[in-house]
Amino acid sequence: MEMTRRGFLGSAAGFAAFGGSLSCLGAPCSVYKGVPIGVITYSYRSMPAGVGKTLENVLGSSLSTIELMSNDVEIDAGAPMNKLSWKQSKEDKAALAAWRQTVDIKRFEEVRAKYEAAGVSVHIVKYGDIGSKGLSDAEMDYRFRVARAMGADTITREIPDPKNIPGWWEAEGKRLAAFAEKWGVNIAFHNHLQINATTYDGPLLGYSKRFMINYDIGHFTAANDTDPLDMVRKYHDRIVSIHIKDRCTKARGQKNLPFGQGDTPLTGLFALMVKEGWKFPCDIELEYAIPKDSDAVREVNISREYCKGKIG
């Protein structure tokens, strides 16, 4: 019988293998009534980069579990990069590629030890290019090695074009599924505005037991008129995490607003998770405009406090 991620992480083997992202390692502790509130470290993109800075930011927001961007973890491991990955020059990218070929994976294990010593677990590492035809087998293996070294059970990437899932499967998906099986690491698909209530009714999740969902409930709210919570009810056994933000509906311009001011049903989401005992992490993704007298660390912390208050 195939074990779902929920069953796996609920087992002793699941916690031992992947660092137990559903419980706290110490202080800080951002698990409230069993609901883990975390952050995708993209939220700190406006903060200065540097070794140890991401962990410092996470602790400043009092969070205990994270989705870690690849550029953040690689900077911590000593990579020659100090800028957002998508803003790097051709020379920057070449230097990073060379570094990846020679770096000792123990560097990432050392980074993980620092996070865990501070009470922070990593449930996901994001490599947005995972599965790309442009990656060699060695480059694919490297990304999975980093995820395993960091204690993550999942790598996230964007969902393939919903209009051509079978074409993507033939071109890239089969290979990606084979690597996910080889390494025992899930691939979770993130959405922006391109999905609707029936997107995952198609073949994507059936291609591999390792294919999961990184559901962005805020983007779904902005793109659709259907209840965003229906997606959680329907796919709760394939959701590995939820990105939480407070976006407005199409009728209100799809704006990103501070938590409590948009239309995303965060209160309903938390109530549903508590009622059903679903424990996938809800990761804050800061996308609204940061006030001039504030910064990302403070705004993520305000968002965490909002979530804590709504969970009760």
What CATH code is carried by the domain that includes residue 24? 3.20.20.150
* 31/49 Cα distance (integer angstroms): 27
By the 10 Å C-beta count (0-12 exposed, 13-18 middle, 19+ buried), 201 is classed as exposed
Tokens representing residue 239 in the block: 């959701």
Q: Is 64 helix (H, G, I), strand (E, B) or coil?
A: coil
Q: List pLDDT tens digits, range 69-83.
A: 999 999 999 998 765
The whole-number average pLDDT for the span 33-57 is 96
* 131/270 Cα distance (integer angstroms): 32
The whole-number average pLDDT for the span 156-168 is 97
Which residues 6+ apart lie within 8 Å of 104 measured at CB?
none
What's the chain's Rg over C-alpha atoms?
A: 18
Give percent of the chain with pLDDT exceeding 90.
Answer: 86
pLDDT band with cut points at 50, 70 and 90 for residue 5: very low
> Treating both helix axes as pointing N-terminal to C-terminal, what angle do 228-235 and 266-276 enclose, rounded to 10 degrees?
20
pLDDT band with cut points at 50, 70 and 90 for residue 54: very high
Q: List pLDDT tens digits, range 278-299.
A: 999 999 999 999 999 999 999 9
pLDDT band with cut points at 50, 70 and 90 for residue 22: low
**153: pLDDT strictly greater than 60:** yes
Q: List pLDDT tens digits, range 183-229.
A: 999 999 999 999 999 999 999 999 999 999 999 999 999 999 999 99
Tokens representing residue 46 in the block: 């406006």
Q: List pLDDT tens digits, range 134-146.
A: 999 999 999 999 9
Tokens representing residue 245 in the block: 């933000």
Number of domains in the chain: 1
The whole-number average pLDDT for the span 4-25 is 44
Q: List pLDDT tens digits, range 216-239.
A: 999 999 999 999 999 999 999 999
Please, are residues 168 and 161 in contact by the beta-carbon 8 Å criterion? yes
In the chain, at which residue ranges do the beta strands (DSSP E only) sit?
31-32, 35-40, 65-69, 121-126, 154-158, 186-190, 211-216, 239-244, 246-247, 256-257, 282-284
**172: pLDDT strictly greater than 70:** yes
The whole-number average pLDDT for the span 21-48 is 91
Which residues 6+ apart lie within 8 Å of 20 measured at CB?
121
Its pTM surpasses 0.85: yes
pLDDT at res. 12: 31
The whole-number average pLDDT for the span 101-117 is 98
Range of the domain at 188: 5-311
Which residues 6+ apart lie within 8 Å of 256 measured at CB?
218, 245, 246, 247, 248, 262, 287, 288, 289
pLDDT band with cut points at 50, 70 and 90 for residue 89: confident
pLDDT at res. 187: 98
Peptide bond into 160 cis (omega under 30): no
pLDDT at res. 21: 42
The dihedrals phi and psi of 33, each to the nearest 5 degrees, come to 55, 35
* 242/156 Cα distance (integer angstroms): 12
pLDDT band with cut points at 50, 70 and 90 for residue 84: low
